[in-house]
Every structure is written in structure tokens, then in C-alpha cells.
Amino acid sequence: MEDVILVVNCGSSSLKVALFSPRLQHLAGALAERLGQPDAKARAGVDKVHVPLPKNANHEDALAALIRHFEEQRLLTRQPLAIGHRVVHGGEAFRAPALIDAEVLEAIEDCTSLAPLHNPVNLTGIRATQALFPDVPQVAVFDTAFHQTLPSKAYLYGLPRRFYDDWGVRRYGFHGTSHSFMLTESARILNKPESETSIISAHLGNGCSITAIRNGKSVDTSMGLTPLEGLVMGTRSGDIDPGLFDFLRSRGIDGEALSDLLNNDSGLLGLSGSTNDMRTLIRQADQGDRRCADALAVFCFRLARYIGAMMASLDSLDALVFTGGIGENSDRVRKDTLAPLGLLGFSLDSGANEKHGRDSKHHIEHSNSRFPVLVVATNEEAVIASAALAQSC
């Protein structure tokens, strides 16, 4: 059995692990969900084989069970070469992946106030993996790092300056591993050096963000201090009027209930009243469900506005790139989003747009489009594996 790189991605109640070869081939994956609850469960591989977990299994229990499963399947026959961890918030301390030592752990802890739901659980994953593999180099890969090149005009809020100076309140941006992968892939497809490639990258999954990349550097992005800002998402509101908070307080919605509303009950789910799944939403909209039709329209219009807004940070554009579960698979969303942007010169080839997913040509623009439009499958785990390998050598 060859050497492997282990990738660990801890969510608040979930754990994803994957094994990659040193040539970055995906070898195996597994997912544990509902951690901390009586019905915690785990599945591994493309066949989704059930992996037994103890009742109320936590992240440590799940990690141990999934590693044991890989060992039993002889997918892991010796210690991994390196381990890569997704870490959500690196604040201003991290501009690149970091080899984990006591100082790095402390710096990740210091960023906890900026991502209280994510960083503690990322640290749990790191510590649990360190306990299992104390001699293997471990690398933290930050969602925020790629956006540390944002200029101050793009990251400062219109708030008293002391909020930034004293507390670090600014726009950080997220999905950095996906957007940086879009840069690498677009440069390859367009046959240009990354440092001369300028794109608008739209990552549309359950979470959604869009980034302007100028000559290989992130210069504007739609997510902010937290991953709540920007586009309408599966269950997150994206941009709203902050004056809404006073109004909702007067209706008794405040504190945790407010956070829950904006993070978990808004976006496509809130607008449609029934689903955050784009496939279901489109099907119901086409069957005449008015709320689903409105949700789809709001999603695409917000995205179109942001594509226009990203132009303000670029002096040339090599391609608009779609990725994520929705961006890669929904020709309808791509079509409805670009329909109002004819003034900017975007034009789709409807055949190429509909066919995408069944060929691997990436290009979906019409020959008269001012800019190329690409569809590219994201692979955040491969980016983390690659960074882990690079940093640990």
C-alpha cells in the first residue's frame, strides 16, 4: 500500500475525512454526522458502508472509528505522510497554510472569537488527530487565508475605525480553498500563468460566495466577518439591512434566536418555506409554486448584482467561473443569472450550458460573449491534501 495524506474537516456536528495519494488522487472518503446526538452515524466509501459509532459519539470517537475502518479496509496500513486540517478562521494571522505547532494552535485559538461556531471544533479535530498520530506533521489550511490580499477599501466596514483596530472587525471572506482552486484550474484551462489570470469565481453550494481575483490575488469577496454576508444561500440570508435588527427586537426576536433565524431558517429555505435544495426548488418552481419561483429569482438576481459589483475591482476579466453543487450542476441558475447581464457583455451558448456535466470542455459562453464563462468542479479536499504535503516536506 502506498503512502497517504489524511484530510480532516470538522463541522459543528459532522466530520469528513479523506485519504489522498501523494499524487493527489482521492483514495477514500468517509462522513460522520449528528455527532453528540443519540443517533450519530457514519458512512464510508462510494458504497456508503455503515461504520458503527458509540452512542452520542463525539468528534474524537468518530475520528477513531473512521481511522479504524480505513485500517481494517487496508486503506491505511501505516502512518499518514501528512495530515491536513480545514480551519475556518485564520483572522489576519494566517495568509497561507501553516505547519501546526504550539504557537499556531494558540493563534487559531485567538481567532475563536471571530468564528465561535467553527474554530473550537476545528481545534478539537486537530487535537484528536494529534493524539492518534503524534509523530505525523499536521497542517492547518484556512478558509480565510486566500483573501488576506484584499485591499483595505474592500475589507473595512463603514463602522467606527476602532472596531477594526481594537477587535479586528473587518471583512475576511471564506471558501478560500475553493476560490484558489478555481484560479489554478482557470489558469490551466486558459493556458495563462496564475499571476496574470483575472477571474470572477462564483462558489455556489449550500454556502455561496463570489470572489474577484486580479492577477492571481483575491481583491474582493462577498462573505465578510462571518460566512453570513453576501449572496443568498441555502439557509443563510446573505446581505440584509442591519436596521432589521431593531425591528425584529421589537417583535421579540433577538440574540440566539436572531442568529439561528439568519443562519438556519433564511435563504432559499426561508423564502420558499419548504426546501434549501436547489433541485427541489427548481422542480417546485416549474410546477407553479410561487414561493419557490421567487426564491430562485432572488438567488439569481442577487448573484447577478454581485457579478456586476465584482467588476469594480478588476481591470480585465479572463473568465467568469461557476463551481459548487449548484454552480457545477444547474444550467438553469447559470442561465437565469447571466440573462440580465447582457449589458456587461456576457452571453451563454445554451447548448453548451445545458450539456455541461456531460462533457468536460468547461466553456459555456456563446461565441459573441465578451468574456469566457467556465464551469469547473471544485475540489477543496485536494487543495488541503496538496498544502499538507507541501508544508510538511
Residues belonging to the active site: 143
Distance between CA atoms of residues 243 and 241, nearest Å:
5
Shortest Å, Cβ 203 to ligand AMP: 8
Q: Which x/- pattern, by CB under 6 A, does the window 129-148 give for ligand AMP?
A: --------------------
Shortest Å, Cβ 53 to ligand AMP: 23
Distance between CA atoms of residues 136 and 134, nearest Å:
6
Q: Count CA within 13 A, CB hemisphere, residue 314.
A: 26
179: which residues sit within 8 A by CB, 6+ positions away? 146, 147, 201, 203, 209, 211, 213, 218, 221
Q: Closer to ligand AMP at the Cβ: 215 or 379?
A: 379
Would you state the cell numbers that stand for residue 205, as one nine-digit string?
453550494
Is 324 near ligand AMP (CB under 6 A)? yes
* Selected binder of ligand AMP within 80, 173, 205, 267 (CB under 6 A): 205
Sheet holding 208-214, edge to edge: 217-221, 208-214, 199-204, 319-323, 373-375
Pairing of strands 5-10, 373-375: unpaired
**Is the separation of the CB atoms in 368 and 350 below 8 Å?**
no
Question: Phi first, then psi: what are they for 141, rounded to 5°?
Answer: -120, 120
Is 337 near ligand AMP (CB under 6 A)? no
* Selected binder of ligand AMP within 215, 325, 344, 363 (CB under 6 A): 325
Q: Which stretch binds ligand AMP (CB under 6 A): 5-13, 22-30, 65-73, 273-281?
A: 273-281
Shortest Å, Cβ 333 to ligand AMP: 7
Is 303 near ligand AMP (CB under 6 A)? no
Question: How many of the chain's residues bind ligand AMP (CB under 6 A)?
Answer: 11
**Is the separation of the CB atoms in 276 and 235 below 8 Å?**
yes
How many helices (H) and strands (E) would you count in the chain?
Answer: 15, 13
Contacts to ligand AMP from residues 227-246, by CB under 6 A: 234
The CB-nearest residue to ligand AMP is: 325
Q: Which x/- pattern, by CB under 6 A, does the window 163-202 give for ligand AMP?
A: ----------------------------------------
Residues that bind ligand AMP (CB under 6 A): 205-206, 234, 277-279, 324-326, 329-330
